[in-house]
Structure 1
Amino acid sequence: MAHSQFDTFLHEATTCDRDSDFALARDPLYGLYTSWCFINQRAPRAETTFWAAMARRLDPDHNGLRMKGPAATDYILTSYPGLV
């Protein structure tokens, strides 16, 4: 079975911490997705399409996800340029 762009994104750019009450909020999760798309030279899907896909895979508001990998670095440095 082929994995969708969204499955690949979740696998490469997030990790699940089920023991934590932490949830990656909606804005950072979509921002992480757009960073992942940029790094992988893929066109990001519309935000409504992204959220429809996420709703089939996880609870967007209680997801236990954390950022990881190059997309996390890109997202953080792009969102908070004063850190550099």
Structure 2
Amino acid sequence: MADSQYDQFLQEATAPDAASESVLGRDCLYGLYTSWCFLSQTVPRPEDAFWAAMREKRIRPGHTPLRMTGPAANDYILSSYPGLV
């Protein structure tokens, strides 16, 4: 069975980070998802569908120790903070 779009997103754009006290919040996690969709040329699903899928995967923004990684992280950071460029 093929991975869902959300599984691919989590595999390619996040990594577990139990050692860090910094966790991805709601806006950051969805922003990372939209950056990942843009880079992977995938149409982002509606935000309510995204959060329903994250609940199924037991991903709780602000509580699940994940960090951003990969090209989507770079895209998200640069688009969120254009003064860095």
Q: TM-score range by the shorter chain?
A: over 0.9
Matches of 1:5 and 1:35 in 2, distance apart? 13
Following superposition, the deviation at residue 10 of structure 1 comes to 0.2
The count of corresponding residues between Structure 1 and Structure 2 is 84
Tell me the SS of whatever aligns to 1:66: strand
TM-score, scaled relative to structure 1: 0.94
What are structure 1's unaligned runs of at least 5 residues?
none
**Alpha carbon RMSD of aligned pairs, Å?**
0.9
Deviation sequence 1:33-58 (CA, Å, 0-9, x none) = 00000000000000000000001112
Q: Does 1:9 align with 2:9?
A: yes
What is the letter of the counterpart of residue 39 of structure 1?
L
Aligned counterpart, 1:18: 18
SS at match of 1:15: strand
TM-score with structure 2 setting the length: 0.93
Q: Does 1:77 align with 2:70?
A: no
Bigger drift between 70-79 and 55-64 goes to: 55-64
DSSP 3-state at the match of 2:28: helix
Consecutive unaligned residues of structure 2, counting only runs of 5 or more, are none
Percent identical:
63
For residues 20 and 49 of structure 1, the distance between their equivalents in structure 2, rounded to whole angstroms, comes to 28
Alignment partners' CA distance in 1, 2:2 and 2:21: 31
How far the C-alpha of 1:61 sits from its partner, in A, is 3.0
Q: Give runs of aligned pairs for residues 18-57 of structure 1, distance below 5 A.
A: 18-57=18-57
